[in-house]
Chain A
Amino acid sequence: MLRGSLRNEMKHCLYCLAPLPEHFQWKNVFLSETTLLCETCRNMFTPLPKNVCPKCSKPLQKGEETQCHDCIRWEKSTHWKGILEHNTSFYVYNDDIKDFVARWKYRGDAALALVFKEKLRRLYLQNYVDYYPVPIPLSKERFTERGFNQSALLASFLATPYTIFEKLQWMRTHRTYRKLKEIAPQPVLHALRRNIDEKKQSKKSRYERLTFTKNPFVSVSSHEVSVKGKKILLIDDIYTTGMTLRKAAYRLKEEEAASVRSITLFR
């Protein structure tokens, strides 16, 4: 089980390990909302600006009104057209986040994934309840080297049962009544495998990423993880060019997935 502290309470900030101030709040009792980060670390995560591309969550530049140039370019290509329907991201990828991700992935501080747990679950309940989470896999070598797959950790958050408070919140935002039992998460599908062991994405230039045409992903052909006719939600940590996600989505589309969307943490 993924835990940031072997005690039940969080005594230290999950990232900088500074002692957390102990405030008693009723919110914590009722919503089981736990503060994991201290204030300075929380401010490190800059939310994306208001005017982002509705398709891929990229902050819009000057001259781009409804869609970003990247999305238009993707849609022009016959190969990639309509492969990835939509991407939602949470935060801006900046230098602070780079350090954060380095510690999370390369130093192996797996528990840092917990930072995004609540936000992911809320978004999933709101928009993606009938989608099956599929994490972007790591190659076998990298997986054993690192000991965990950060995307799989994120995906596993979505599949754990939802508390009654989360469900009530869902009903409040959707203004519909649905039997509480019906709001059940879909299981995580490990529908993809990564075969080719390539350079780390972060060590490649944009040009390299876009021209390395071979698709490293292979779909797992077994009955339990069949994606046929299912709505799929890809989970990854960083969206830079969108190439990785599209390559994965391409394989899923080949297996006749109904639609493929994605959630990424940083953009």
Chain B
Amino acid sequence: MFSYFHFLSGKRKKTDLPPHAQRAQVAREVGPLSFDAFPSYFPSQLIHSSSYSSELYSQLKEKLYGKELLLEELQVTKEEMAPFLKAGLITARIGIQPRKKGYICLRCGTDDLSLFGSYPCARCQQTCIYCRNCIQMGKISTCTLLFRSHFPEETSFETYPQSENDILQWDGQLSLGQQKASDKIVEAIEKRRELLVWAVCGAGKTEVLFHGMAHALKKQFRVLLATPRTDVVLELLPRLRKVFPLTVISGLYSASTEKHLPASIVVATTHQVMRFVDAFDVVIIDEVDAFPYSLDSSLKYAVAKAGKRESATIYLTATPDPTLTSRVQQKTLPAVKIPRRFHGHPLPVPKLSWCGNWERKLKQKEVPKQVWEWCRVRIESGTPVFLFVPSVTSLQQVTDILKKLHPNIEGVHSADEERLTKVSAFREGTIPILVTTTILERGVTVPRVDVAVIGAEQDIFTESALVQIAGRAGRSHNHPTGDVVYFHYGVTAEMNKAITHIKKMNNTPIR
């Protein structure tokens, strides 16, 4: 009752943190427990000696650096682990903690009851609750422990050069908008604050980060660059290694081999970030809005947990989601805009074109007239075309029909094994039209390209997806324009929002 009145009076008891950050706070507060707290987990007959091998010492220290892991991930037995716990070098806590209502998984931050399962456990002879959201990384249940290191910190594992020029070996030029954002980033890192960098597609976001990262490295900060996709990690790694030649940079994605390397810059997919706790001073999140839909909140949680309590968080995006924009409007999140591409030309504004009931047309083995005509003109003039479709089934249909226009037309979707070869063939120009689902909406740069969407009224094409798709066109310096058309069967609010978004960005002056 009391809290209800409290709510009415407009005073909110809790801080203004978003839910995922609140959960991260909770996860940090669950104190690590010492050895004696788990008598059932480590029965006394297990502990034969209290000494540990020095080989294992360094091995564990390396593996656990900044991370919280399961026994299976560490590949040690309980017997080997016990002396470390006894000596207080490693602490443990139970992976699933009860909360006021339900439970929370400390690794992925899930507190949705429908994502927990239970089973009669043979280890603890009770019904165990386990987290089904992050089970692919190893099972966390009410009887599994997460281990965390408290090894004495040595001064540093590498010697840092003192001047920023030594750390950063890059002589590129920043555009006016980029320079402004870069300065803001340095400031945010300095003050350990949050910052939203709202940059249009093709603004050159990575370059903007260089000075900020160099500044952080000079101060001996650890930097995390989290991105939703493996492709992006693979693309960023060589670029960063080139400009930061003296720094240890590790890339983490599900198939990477360098998982246990302690590094001062970590580039990771957001899934890999889940394993880190309180490890980074600077957290940079690339494309915050691109997290896979179902895992959305747990990935945000993971990123929030990976940063230290006082850390700088920098969000990079072209299409901030409503929670971010509302925070910017409420002035709780400082933001900087880069409204122009690095080449200074405006973004191509999408056109709308009504194409009737395209789904029925596809069933009749035809594409709408307008689409056919549009594609034919592009093929004759030799302009490469990205054609976005809403689903895999329509992808197949459209590709089959368009093959009549040109035999080399191909389609790609997320489960396509030849995805990479097809995309590179498209870049080289052997494929005139690439039909694709939304997987290619981000990060793919092909010069001179024209873009179209079929069925833009479908739910999958949200404002951010449409803006990203439009952002594929006109990215290169020599061809700053391109044609973007949304073929639709009824205009949706999302389509209008996307167009206003782009126009607004084009009208924003660079101050």
Contacts and interface: CB of A to CB of B under 8 A. Distances in A.
Contact of A11 (B114, B129, B135): B114
B249 to A, nearest CB: 31
Interface in B104-158: 112-123, 127-130, 132-133, 135-136, 138-139, 141
Contacts of B117: 2-6, 109-111
Contacts of A110: 117, 119, 130
Given A110-B119, A147-B122, A148-B119, A6 B129 contact: yes
B113 A7 contact: yes
Interface string A132-173: 000000000001101111000100000000000000000000
Interface in A1-59: 1-7, 9-12, 17-19
A103 interface: yes
Given A5-B113, A18-B294, A108-B130, A103 B118 contact: no
A179 interface: no
B119 A147 contact: yes
B114 A12 contact: yes
Interface centre among A2, A19, A109, A110, by most B CB within 10 Å?
A: A110
Given A2-B119, A19-B294, A148-B121, A103 B136 contact: yes
A5 to B, nearest CB: 4
A6 B119 contact: no
Contact of A6 (B114, B121, B128, B294): B114
Given A107-B138, A108-B139, A111-B132, A148 B120 contact: yes
B155 to A, nearest CB: 40
Contacts of B136: 103, 107
A109 B114 CA distance: 14
Contact of B115 (A9, A17, A143, A153): A17
A142 to B, nearest CB: 10
B102 interface: yes
A11 B121 CA distance: 24
Contacts of A144: 122-123
Contacts of A149: 122
Interface string B325-344: 00000000000000000000
The interface residues of chain A, by DSSP majority, are classed as loop
Contacts of B102: 6
B120 A2 contact: yes
Contacts of A19: 294
Given A17-B132, A107-B138, A6 B127 contact: no
Contacts of B114: 5-7, 9-12
Interface in A64-109: 103, 107-109
Interface residues of B, number: 26
B119 A111 contact: yes
A208 B432 CA distance: 53
A109 B135 contact: yes
Contacts of B116: 5-6
Contacts of A107: 135-136, 138-139
A153 B113 CA distance: 22
Given A9-B114, A18-B294, A110-B119, A1 B133 contact: no
Contacts of B119: 1-3, 110-111, 147-148, 153
B294 A147 contact: no
B135 A108 contact: yes
A264 to B, nearest CB: 21
B294 A17 contact: yes
A4 B120 CA distance: 12
A67 B115 CA distance: 45
Contact of B113 (A6, A17, A111, A146): A6
Interface centre among B102, B117, B129, B138, by most A CB within 10 Å?
A: B117
A11 B112 CA distance: 10
A101 B215 CA distance: 48
A147 B133 CA distance: 19
Contacts of A109: 117, 130, 132, 135, 139
Interface string B71-96: 00000000000000000000000000
Contacts of B127: 1
A148 B113 CA distance: 22
A194 to B, nearest CB: 14
A11 B115 CA distance: 9
Contacts of A3: 117-119
A1 B116 CA distance: 13
A7 B115 CA distance: 9
A12 B133 CA distance: 10
A147 B118 contact: no
A143 B135 CA distance: 19
A105 B385 CA distance: 46
25 contacts: A1-B120, A2-B117, A2-B120, A3-B119, A5-B115, A6-B102, A6-B103, A6-B117, A11-B114, A17-B132, A17-B133, A17-B294, A19-B294, A107-B138, A107-B139, A108-B135, A108-B139, A109-B135, A110-B117, A144-B123, A147-B119, A147-B141, A148-B121, A148-B122, A149-B122
Given A5-B113, A18-B294, A109-B117, 19 more contacts: A2-B117, A2-B119, A5-B117, A6-B102, A6-B116, A6-B117, A11-B114, A17-B294, A107-B135, A109-B135, A109-B139, A110-B117, A110-B119, A144-B122, A144-B123, A147-B122, A147-B141, A148-B119, A148-B120
Give 8 closest A-B pairs by Cβ, nearest first.
Answer: A110-B119, A111-B117, A108-B139, A11-B114, A6-B113, A5-B114, A7-B114, A3-B118
